[in-house]
Amino acid sequence: MTTRKTTDFGFTQVPIEEKAKRVADVFTSVATRYDVMNDLMSLGIHRLWKRYAIELSAVKRGQKVLDLAGGTGDLAKQFAAITGGIGNVVLADINADMLRVGRERLLDEGIVVDCAQVNAECLPFADNTFDIITIAFGLRNVTDKAAALRSMLRVLKPSGRVLILEFSELQLKPLKPFYDLYSFKILPLMGKLVANDAESYRYLAESIRMHPNQETLLNMMQTAGFERCRYHNLSGGIVAIHCGYKF
């Protein structure tokens, strides 16, 4: 008898082919309240995390940037301002609703970027296309993370870099009970009150715990073929930025 392959969806095991749809349902549900919830959940600190990621990218005028899982366009907006009219920024997301919200938000601010609905595991771009690839708070939702890393490496130019901004493993152990209380009790309650969706934010907390920790993700990047890989812990390891290069 053939055993059906499963993967994690938060703390639940689901058939591999079902995860993408379940994740899509989560983000379709929260798309219109996504930015408000991000500010509330992090007390606005997510903006500082993203600003640091942009600084680490060392993006320059005229470069080509792919912002994967770009959602509502926070990073794409900043990249567009830096790369200028001679550069190119692609705002990409697997979820059409998130992409629509991001595109409309940027257009409202007079910012035009290319938009693409893509699966990070099989990016539809030519080899050696982008100078910089970022993925912020999106890798943990990808079913096959190793495939996504290989796909990113393929479309990255030689000497290009990838930056992965993602929740990671808290390094300040005395704070763990408080962090767990916030994650599993307060966060779903906020989701219910603000976005009318407690379950999506319960999934968020669970998906963070199931995501590879700092060293594991570093090893995955090296296995995929990235070089000079390193990471920076932010906010005590609640978030980490992983960097890697293609040579």
| Per-residue pLDDT at 220 exceeds 80 | yes
Confirm whether 1 is domain-assigned: no
| Per-residue pLDDT at 86 exceeds 70 | yes
What amino acid occupies position 185? K
Confirm or deny that 93 is annotated as ligand binding. yes
The H helix count followed by the E strand count for the chain is 10, 9
d(CA 135, CA 171): 22
State whether residue 116 is helix, strand or coil: strand
Residues 81-89 have a mean pLDDT of: 92
Confirm or deny that 72 is annotated as ligand binding. yes
Strands 12-15 and 239-245: unpaired
Strand segments (E) across 10-99:
12-15, 64-68, 88-93
Q: Work out the pLDDT band at 19, boundaries 50, 70, 90.
A: confident
d(CA 132, CA 68): 11
Q: Work out the pLDDT band at 3, boundaries 50, 70, 90.
A: low
What amino acid occupies position 217? L
| Per-residue pLDDT at 4 exceeds 80 | no
Of 3-7, 20-24, 144-148, 153-157, the range with the lowest mean pLDDT is 3-7
Residues 207-230 have a mean pLDDT of: 97
pLDDT more than 70, % of the chain: 98
Confirm or deny that 134 is annotated as ligand binding. no
Total number of domains constituting the chain = 1
pLDDT more than 90, % of the chain: 74
Confirm whether 74 is domain-assigned: yes
Task: Decide if 54 contacts 163 (C-beta within 8 A).
Answer: no
DSSP state letter for 185: I
Confirm whether 95 is domain-assigned: yes
Q: Work out the pLDDT band at 2, boundaries 50, 70, 90.
A: low
Q: What is the DSSP string of 151-179?
A: HHHHHEEEEEEEEEEEE-----GGGHHHH
| Per-residue pLDDT at 215 exceeds 90 | yes
C-alpha dihedral over 148, 82, 52, 211, to 10 degrees?
-10
- Summarised one tens digit per residue, pLDDT across range 101-117 is 999 999 999 999 999 99
Q: In whole numbers, what is the pLDDT of the chain averaged over residues? A: 93
Confirm or deny that 119 is annotated as ligand binding. yes
Confirm whether 38 is domain-assigned: yes
Give me the CATH number covering residue 195. Answer: 3.40.50.150
- Domain with 218 in it: 6-245
State the pLDDT at residue 142.
Answer: 95
**Which of 121, 42, 131 lies closest to 79 in space, CA to CA?**
131
